[in-house]
């Protein structure tokens, strides 16, 4: 299903569905969790599918553009992504001590953001909400 969507997106933009792009897509959807581009690149090397580092980065950008993947944070060490198709949008609580990432979704929060956009004559397209603090386990 995500392949079909990706193919459509590429078609519209007169871009080509190469085996490298397909390999990145498959690896991204085979893995469930948050990942950095470098991790994705090395996981692909290990699992035998081939795509250069450059292609991994380039394809990730395309996947974000067409809405199959979202960039959820820009950590101190590079960007963090996750596939989103089939999961729906959500935001994150990030523990500064242990690094745990808790996902949440609040309808209310989304509604109020839309309201904020309206008030500012702004067409919201995406957002990153990243709440940093200390998780239950680390609080003790």
Partner DNA sequence: GGTTAATTGATATTTAATCTCAATTTCATT
Partner DNA sequence: AATGAAATTGAGATTAAATATCAATTAACC
The reply on whether position 103 binds Mn ion by CB under 5 A is: yes
Residue 93, exposed/middle/buried by CB under 10 A (0-12, 13-18, 19+)?
A: middle
Instruction: Name the residue nearer to its own copies (CB basis): 29 or 35.
Output: 35
Nearer to Mn ion, 51 or 80 (CB): 80
Shortest distance, position 94 Cβ to Zn ion, whole Å: 9
Nearest 5°: the CA angle 91, 36, 140 is: 55
**Can you say whether the dihedral through the CA atoms of 33, 67, 2, 78 is positive or negative?**
negative
Q: Binding of DNA at residue 52 (CB under 7 A)? A: yes
- Smallest gap from Cβ 82 to Mn ion, in A, equals 5
Taking the CA of residue 80 as centre, how many other CA atoms within 13 Å lie in the half-sphere pointing to its CB?
17
Q: What are phi and psi of 97, to 5 degrees?
A: -90, -55
Site string for Zn ion, 116-135 (x = CB under 5 A): -------------------x
Q: Which does 14 bind (CB under 5 to 8 A by kind): Mn ion, its own copies, Zn ion, none?
A: none
């Amino acid at each position: 299903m995500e392949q079909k969507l990706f193919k459509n997106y590429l078609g519209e933009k007169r871009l080509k569905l190469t085996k490298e792009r397909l390999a990145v897509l498959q690896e991204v959807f085979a893995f469930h969790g948050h990942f950095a581009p470098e991790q994705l690149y090395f996981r692909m090397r290990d699992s035998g599918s081939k795509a250069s580092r450059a292609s991994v980065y380039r394809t990730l950008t395309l996947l974000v553009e067409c809405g199959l993947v979202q960039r959820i944070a820009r950590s101190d060490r590079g960007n963090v992504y996750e596939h989103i198709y089939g999961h729906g949008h959500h935001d994150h609580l990030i523990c500064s001590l242990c690094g745990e990432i808790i996902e949440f979704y609040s309808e209310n929060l989304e509604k109020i953001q839309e309201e904020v956009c309206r008030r500012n004559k702004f067409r919201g397209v995406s957002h990153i909400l990243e709440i940093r603090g200390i998780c239950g386990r680390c609080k003790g």
